[in-house]
Structure 1
Amino acid sequence: MSLNVSLVNLCSRPALTRSWLARRIHPPCRYTAIALRPGLRPFTTTPQEVENTNVKHSRFLAEASKNETWKKGAADKDPGDGAEVTSEDFDSITEGKGKLSPTASHLFKLILPLGHAERHGKEPAKTPPPTVFLLHPSQPLSHVSRLILASLAPSTPSISFRSITPRGYTIQWSDSTDVQDFIRDAARSREFTICITDTGEDESHMTIPVEVPSFEDRTRFLRRRLAIVEEDLNRMETLKRECDHEALRGARRMAVGGFGILVVYWGTVARLTFWDFGWDVMEPITYLSGLSMVILGYLCMQSRFLYRGREVSYSSLLHHSVSARRESLYESRGLDIDRWMDLVSEAKSIRREISKIAEDYDERRWKKSEAQREAREEGERKEPEDVQETQQENMDLVEGRKD
C-alpha cells in the first residue's frame, strides 16, 4: 500500500519527476528503448507523450565513447536530430498498424500498437500510446520478440515475423535472422506482419501489419546531410578553384619574368661588350656574374632536395611556387583546407552508404544519378595539366600542417 501511495505522489509531481520515474521503471539498454505506457491514456501527440517516448539515452549508449559521460554526451547531441520519436512519426501511424522508421544514428525505430494486443477481446475506453523499440540492424529477430514479450508481460504469447513475396506467398522468418536482412527482403513488398498468438485456452490470434520505409524514407537523414555537405563543398570549391587558378597564373608569370630577366641580362652584356667597354673589360664581369648565378641556382636546388626531399626538376619547382602561393591565398581569403578535405571524405562516405542501401532496394535512379555525377566530375577534372598535378599538393599541405 505504501508503494502505491509513493508512486501516486511521484506521478503527481511535475513532468521531470515522471520522466525520472519512467527511466527507473524501464532502464535503458544498449540498443533498445521502450516507451513507458502508463495506464490507459488517450492517443494524442502532445509534447508530454513525445517526452515519454524519448530514446536519447539509448542513442547515447550506442554512439558515445567509453570515456564520455551521459550529461556531456546529452549536451553535445542535437535534440532535434536524433532517434527520439517526434509528433510526425505519431501522426503518420495508421490505427492498428505499426511503422518502421530510420534514425539519424543508422538504427531503426519500430513503433507498434501493442495496447490492442493487451486488450484483445475487451472493450477499450481509450487508445493507449504505441510502444517504441530502438533496434540495431545486426540484432536478430529473436531479440525483437523478447522485447515485445517484455511489453506484453505477464502474458507470454508466441511471436512470429512474416512477409509476402512478390508472387503473393506468405513466408515466416526464423528468429535467427538479422533485422537488416529481414528488412531488406520485406522492402520489396513495403510491409511485413508481426503475428501474436496467445498460447492459452482461447488461442487468440492477432496480426500487426508494419510499414517498411521506402528508399527515400530510409535515406532521408543521409540525403539531408549530403545536401548540407555538398552545399558547403560547392561554396568552398568555388573559392578554392579561384585561388588555384590565380596561384597558377602567378607561378607562370614568375617563370616568364625569370626568362625575361635572363634575356635582359644577355642583351645588357652584349651591348656593353661589343659597343661600350669591349671584351677585355666585360670578360671577368661576365665570368663572375655567370658563375654567381650558377652557384645560387645550385644552392637553391640542393637546399630543396636535401632539406625537403623533393625531386630536383622544373616541374617540382613550379609546383612548389604554386603551392606556396596557393597556401597564402587560402589564408588571406579564409579558406580552411583541412575542413575542405574533411567534407570531401564525408561526402564520399555518405554516398557509399546510400549506394549500399540502394542495392537493397534495387534503386536504379540513384545508381543512374551517381553514374552521371561521376561522368560530370570526370569531365571537370580535364582542366589544365598543372592544375591536376597540384591537387596532390593539397593532401601534402594538410599532412604537413598536422605534423
Structure 2
Amino acid sequence: MSLALDLAPSASVEVRNVDLAYTRKARGTAPLSRFAVQADGAALASVPDEMEVRSSHLVRFSPTGKPATLQTYSVETLRKVEISTSGDTFIGSTDDDLYVFKDNKKSRFLSDRRANYTDIALSESGSRFGTVFCDMLAAHHTVALGDQTGRTLWTKDLPFAASAVAVSRDGSVIAVGGEDGDLWLLDNARNTVLKHRQEAAMEAVAVAGTNRVVFASGGGAGVINAEGQLLWFTEIVGETVALGTDSVARTVAVLARTDTNAGRLILLSGENGLPVWEIDYEDSRPTGLSVSANGEFVGVSLRDGTVCVYKLFYGDRLAAADGEAVLAEARAARSGDGSLLQAVALLQARLGSVPSDFRACDLLKETLTDAKEQALALSANAEEIGDFLSA
C-alpha cells in the first residue's frame, strides 16, 4: 500500500523496464556500499584475499572485462565498508573502531576515544564521512563528521539513540535516524536543517541532496521534503536490509529480507512511492544495495558473494489514471461486458507501454488462464456434439 500525502515535483519519466546487466561472484564479497555502483554500471566491492587472513582487495567489477584490483589493504574483519566512487578513499568499521583508508594508508578515527559504532556513511567523493556511535555503556549517543584524512571536523550529542546515518553524495548534509523514530538532517556546519519523526525505529536512511530524505521505518519506506513533510509512505514486506536512491530521488530502491535465507529488491517511484519493479532472491540472502547517481543502475550483493547489477530503462510516464482505466476496462471485459480477447489485447498494449506494471501482468496471466479453460470447455463440448451426430 502506498499513501501519498503530498506531491513531489512532477517527473516526466518513470522506470519502464529493468534488465540484468551482469553478475560477478567472489567468495566473501562484502556488502555493497551505498555509492559503489557508478554511472557506467561498474561496481566497487571489498573482497577478502584467498590466502592471507587479514588482507582484502578493493575490486572494480565491470560490465565488460575481468575484475580489476584497485588496492590491497590489511585490517581486522570489518563489519561495514563504505567506498568512494573513485575507489581511492574508503572507510570501514568494527564494533569499536573506525578506519579511514586513503592512498594505501590507514588511520584510526577518534583514536583517543572508546566507542561503539552503530553506522557509518561516506560521501561520493570520499572527502567527508559521517558516523553515529555511543559510549561503552550505550548511555550517550553522538554523530560525528570527518574528512578523508581521518580528522574530526565536529561532533554533536544526540538526545536519542541513533540507529542509522547517511551522507549526501556531495557531503553537504548528513541524515541521522533514531531508534525511537527520530530523523534529523544536519548541514556540514553542524546546524540542524530539519526534524521529522515516525512512530517506529529508523532502520535505514538515504539522502538526495537537500530536498529529499528517504527512510525505512515501521514496515515501509517513505520520503520527506526539505520542510520535513512526509510526501509518501509505502508498506514493504520483510525487514529492511538497505535503502538507496539516485541523486534526485527519481527512483527509490529497498532491499528487504523476507526469510532467513531469502530477500527481495523493490523499486519505488520517487514521485509517489508506487512499486514499479521487484525481484526475489530465494537461494541467497541479500546483504547490500547501491544506486548509481544517474539512477540507471542498481547493484545488489548476496551472501554467497554474488554481485548483481541491473540496468533501469526510463520512458515517458503514463498517468496513473490511464493505468487504472485500462485495468478497469480489462476487468469489465473479463466479467462479460466484452470478451476475453478484448481484455488480452488491452493488457498486452498496456504492458507494451509500461512493462513494469505488475498488476497488468498478473491480470493478463489470469485472463489467459480463463481463455485456456474456455477453450478446453469448448473442445470438450465439440467432441460431445460430434459423438452425438455420429450416433
Q: Per the shorter chain, which TM-score range? A: under 0.3
More strand by share: 2
Rg bigger for which structure?
1
Q: Which has the higher helix share?
A: 1
The structure with higher relative contact order (CA 8 Å, sep 6+) is 2
